[in-house]
Chain A
Amino acid sequence: MSKKDFDVIVVGAGPAGMAAAYVLAKAGVDVIVIERGKFPGSKNVMGGIFYRKPMDDLIPEFYKEAPIERHIVEQRMWLMDDVSHFSMGIKTQKHNSEPYNCFSVLRAQFDKWFSKKVVEAGALLINETVVTEPIVENGKVVGVRTDRPQGDLYADCVIAADGVQSFLAKSLGLRKKITPNKVALGVKEIIGLSEEQVNDRFGIKDSKEGVTIEITGPFLKGMEGMAWMYTNKNSVSIGIGVIIDDLINHNMNPNDLLESLKNHPSVLPLIEGGETREYLAHVIPEGGYKSVPRMYADGFMVAGDAAMLVDSVHREGSNLAVESGKLAAKTYLEARESGDFSEKTLSRYQEKLEETYVLQDLRYYKNLPELLEEKRYLLTEYPQFLIDAMTEIYTVDGVPKPEKFRKIKGELKSRFGYIGLAKDLYTIWRKLR
């Protein structure tokens, strides 16, 4: 080893990078975090909610001091067409007491707080610097090149938590080119409302409690995607994420899509009169388990979005990021014992992830992206049928109930055919295995 400025270089101060840096700094490792934004969080957008568990393991009871918005007590799931929505969900007091299940957070504020904890733990944080490529010597990653003058840095190990675009993983050949059918664009607005308005409109007791609504269905016109609304303290985050390929093929402008969502009769009353505070966009890796790359090389590990760790079914990403960052750090600590940062030693990182829910969850749904790509109608026709059936059942129009059920059955048969239905059920069952 010729040069060494730090033990570990962490690229990116998002949840994955900071979780890694926090664990390393706490263990006395000389770690530097390099962030391209003005401050951590300034480039980050979240279409999801922040789950407590992985973060709580890292910083116990973090939610008592972190800038969180609301803890979530109710999660609703809507199937929506152009004029109706069919709602399911869970509201439970079990999520209304400490230590809570999950939170809505505003990332620009939350990440900044997290970075303060990381710096307090002893890591060095450098903002406003772009890491352009890994420095590779004899097939081994020995550092990174930044876009700053005199910008080369050397270390035993580089942890790339540089987000979905991850130029680092790509330049090392770990990651394949991402095709537009494996990635979604999420656009989002923060709409300002008073605390009372948020409480009233979402049916919650006080401004500590929060609600999430996740929306899919035929209103997306057959595009694969999902919309969401999350309550913040005095605002609502409303957004929509759609596979980029679908946007292209449907000649769809994402802002128009967001505007039509905002004006949907089911959505509008919840946000009406609010003032848009911010407009944001970010892409979300949707490739699932099959797109997860090899996450290590000699002197190198990849974490978070950069490793495509997003569970698009359950809208989880930041918790997978935190978990992966933590495990990357732990793997480094083990490797340090032996002073061996080779590919072989660091491969333990991916094994660890396979042992946790992170890759187990992703693996469970590993065939889903292809299934949805192949059978787009699963996202439109079944939800539409459900909406129509519910509408029929709840419409009192003098038609006897047995006749209604017969009619619904008839619809089911004519729309899908029993054989088609059986096939679809079988496929879903098989793909989810």
Chain B
Amino acid sequence: MHFLVFIKQVPDAAQVRVDYETGTLIREGVPAIINPFDKHAIEAAVRLKNQFGGKVSVVCMGPPMAEDALKEAMSMGADKAFLLSDRIFAGSDTLATSYALWAAAKQIIKEEGPVDVFFAGKQAIDGDTAQTGPGIATRFNVPLITYVVDIKNVDPEKKTLELVRLLESGQEVIQTTMPCFLTVEEELNTLSYAPLPYLIRAAKTSVKVLNSKNTEIEAEYCGLKNSPTKVRKAFTPPKRERGEMIEGDSVDGIINQLYEKIEPVLKTMGKVQ
């Protein structure tokens, strides 16, 4: 079976700090990492490969330094790595990004053969949109299953599998045919501590670069100019100020006061009629 994982290299959002004076983010020195959700997608693909045979390809759109993310994916057990890198992609929104990745994936399929399961993380921790994966799935016109927390009953013969996905109210089990597109939650698996030969192979293998010249990507669908959404402004939310201490003679009195203060909020949530 062939598994294709879409990954993104992101700044480690946990290390990004806000500069309230300038209203910008402090990104100096913040390392670039594989989007944490995507790592679980890679892990899932590698596990399926180890169980059913086949190979795992990984593709990442980004600047040349995103090669590090692909190398890391290979050290987790991916077999083939593709860096989609071209200036024409600069400023792409989710629609333009899903176009470019879809077109790149078609090229990868040409080179590596048809894909059974596409994978991506449920969202990226920098943009938090959760839109690129669904966008690519739609362009391939394959079933999309988001927020996956478990993969079961994979049948490579019948080309079916079952997925458990997270809902607000619980979970649901979905059966689908392959090819299909999964976006995954962190709970899907625990990342393995990869064997040393994976790391050595990753260090020895080079990443293939895809761009507008060696794929059929059309520039008129890429980049800032061809993205339907544009950023009007970016700003940091106001710094949180110290609120109010609720004081009183008795605990009951304090809780009563508190309740009165939060009752309007509870009402908007429909907790009180």
Interface residues of A (CB under 8 A from B): 32, 38, 108, 124-129, 146-151, 153, 277-278
Contact = CB atoms under 8 A, between A and B. Distances in A.
B174 to A, nearest CB: 33
9 contacts: A108-B29, A126-B196, A126-B200, A127-B199, A148-B194, A148-B196, A151-B195, A151-B196, A278-B29
Contacts of A153: 196
Contacts of B29: 108, 277-278
Instruction: Give 7 closest A-B pairs by Cβ, nearest first.
Output: A148-B196, A149-B195, A150-B195, A151-B196, A126-B199, A124-B203, A150-B196
Interface string B183-204: 0000000000111110110011
A153 B200 CA distance: 11
B31 interface: yes
Nearest to A126: B199
Contacts of B203: 124-126
Nearest to B19: A275
Given A151-B196, A153-B196, 10 more contacts: A32-B200, A38-B31, A129-B199, A147-B193, A148-B193, A148-B194, A148-B195, A148-B199, A149-B193, A150-B197
B268 to A, nearest CB: 38
B17 to A, nearest CB: 9
Nearest to B203: A124
A150 B28 CA distance: 37
Given A38-B31, A108-B29, A277-B29, A146 B200 contact: no
B221 to A, nearest CB: 35
A148 B195 CA distance: 5
Interface residues of B, number: 13
Interface string B12-33: 0000000000000000110100
Nearest to A148: B196
Nearest to A5: B200
Interface string B112-132: 000000000000000000000
Nearest to A108: B29
B196 A124 contact: no
B196 A146 contact: yes
A278 to B, nearest CB: 8
A147 B195 CA distance: 9
A172 to B, nearest CB: 22
A124 B202 CA distance: 10
A124 B195 contact: no
A153 to B, nearest CB: 7
B61 to A, nearest CB: 22
A148 B193 CA distance: 7
A201 B174 CA distance: 65
B197 to A, nearest CB: 6
Contacts of A125: 203
Given A124-B203, A124-B204, A129 B31 contact: no
Contact of B199 (A108, A128, A277, A278): A128
Interface string B157-199: 0000000000000000000000000000000000001111101
Contacts of A151: 195-196
A181 to B, nearest CB: 35
Contacts of B199: 126-129, 148
Contacts of A127: 199
B11 to A, nearest CB: 14
A277 to B, nearest CB: 7
Nearest to A190: B29
Contact of B196 (A38, A108, A129, A278): A129
A126 to B, nearest CB: 5
Nearest to B200: A126
A124 B200 CA distance: 8
Nearest to A33: B203
Contacts of A126: 196, 199-200, 203
Contacts of A277: 28-29
A246 to B, nearest CB: 32
Contacts of B28: 277
A349 to B, nearest CB: 27
Nearest to B31: A38
A32 B201 CA distance: 12
A127 B200 CA distance: 10
Contacts of A129: 196, 199
A127 B28 CA distance: 23
Contacts of B200: 32, 124, 126
A15 B44 CA distance: 37
Contacts of B193: 147-149
A337 to B, nearest CB: 28
A149 B200 CA distance: 12
A108 B196 CA distance: 24
A11 to B, nearest CB: 14
B210 to A, nearest CB: 23
A148 B204 CA distance: 18
A149 B196 contact: yes
A318 to B, nearest CB: 20
Best-surrounded residue of A108, A127, A146, A147 (most CB of chain B within 10 A)? A127
A413 B197 CA distance: 70
A277 B27 CA distance: 11
A153 B199 CA distance: 13
B51 to A, nearest CB: 17
A128 B199 CA distance: 9
B67 to A, nearest CB: 12
